[in-house]
């Protein structure tokens, strides 16, 4: 009888992103900025993009593994050009985080068709064009990549008391777009998943978090009795971006303090 050699197990190693290139949209502030920093800390080379280039420079000038590109995703054609620039700059793209988004708070009966279309273009069409362009490159180069769409709990349920029809429609569309793209590309090793955050402090939710009535409403409506903190999305992001989720695609990870559970 021989003694079997026990191989050491390091479960944290599968979360490392060394040698990979990540693109994060809407990275000038809020959750996007945090996402970029988390991927960078895990070893990735990170390309950050947004309309406000001066804010991106704060990241890109801090470390050579950060790169800044300005983009305006209200133009649906910018997505393909953005991916092309990332590949030109870094020679590859392994991870895409479609985070950029805009809102349209207000009653649906007062919302113009133009605003509704603008929100859908920014929140749904742009992520599609970016994902499609990135997947096209991955397929040509035989790269097993990960695409992460940042959806929302408002893409899973209706709220009503926070009226924003375009935002809800775009995030609901992004949820099922995630599933469809995952099904199309799974056999080629490209994974597509989504994170659906609840209420976190961002530019879009600043008024809620700064207002006493807003914070009380959030406390009453959320089973965990509070909004989220940006670091509470770190685990979901790293899980989906890394090999830790290598057998997972087409899924929506909801991080909302129990909002959609009740």
The rounded distance, in Å, linking the Cα atoms of 21 and 11 is 22
Q: Which of 35, 167, 199, 200 is catalytic?
A: 167
Per-residue pLDDT 10s for the chain (262 aa) are 556 677 788 888 999 999 999 999 999 989 999 999 999 999 999 999 998 888 888 888 888 899 999 999 999 889 999 999 999 999 999 999 999 999 988 899 999 999 999 999 999 999 999 999 999 999 999 999 999 999 999 999 988 778 899 999 999 999 999 999 999 999 999 999 999 999 998 877 777 888 888 889 899 999 999 999 999 999 999 999 999 999 999 999 999 999 999 9
Residue 35 and residue 55 in contact, taking contact as beta carbons nearer than 8 Å? no
Other CB atoms within a 10 A radius of the CB of residue 120 amount to 19
Torsion, Cα 211 217 218 221, to 10 degrees, reads 180
The rounded distance, in Å, linking the Cα atoms of 240 and 258 is 20
Tell me the whole-structure pTM to 2 decimals.
0.94
Sheet containing strand 21-25, edge to edge, reads 66-70, 45-50, 21-25, 95-98, 146-150, 191-197, 252-255
Q: Which domains does the chain have, with CATH numbers?
A: 17-254 (3.40.50.720)
Q: Any catalytic annotation for residue 247?
A: no
């Amino acid at each position: 009888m021989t003694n079997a050699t026990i191989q050491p197990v390091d479960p944290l190693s599968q979360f490392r992103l060394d040698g990979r290139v990540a693109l994060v949209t809407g990275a000038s502030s809020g959750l996007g900025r945090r996402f970029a920093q988390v991927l960078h800390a895990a070893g990735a080379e990170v390309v950050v993009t947004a309309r406000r280039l001066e804010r991106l420079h704060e990241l890109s000038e801090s470390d050579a593994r950060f790169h800044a590109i300005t983009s305006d995703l209200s133009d649906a054609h910018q997505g393909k050009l953005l991916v092309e620039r990332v590949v030109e700059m870094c020679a590859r793209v392994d991870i895409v985080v479609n985070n950029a988004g805009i809102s349209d708070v207000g009653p649906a009966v007062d919302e113009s068709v133009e605003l509704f279309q603008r929100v859908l273009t920014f929140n749904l069409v742009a992520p599609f064009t970016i994902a499609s362009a990135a997947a096209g490159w991955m397929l040509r180069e035989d790269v097993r990549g990960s695409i992460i769409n940042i959806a929302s709990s408002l893409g899973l349920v209706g709220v009503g008391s926070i009226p924003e029809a375009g935002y809800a429609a775009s995030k609901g569309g992004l949820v099922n777009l995630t599933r469809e793209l995952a099904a199309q590309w799974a056999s080629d090793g490209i994974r597509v998943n989504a994170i659906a955050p609840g209420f976190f402090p961002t530019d879009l939710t600043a008024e809620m978090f700064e207002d006493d009535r807003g914070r009380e409403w959030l406390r009453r409506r959320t089973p965990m009795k509070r909004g989220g903190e940006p670091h509470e999305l770190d685990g979901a992001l790293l899980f989906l971006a890394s090999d830790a989720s290598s057998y997972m695609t087409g899924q929506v990870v909801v991080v909302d303090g129990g909002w959609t559970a009740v």
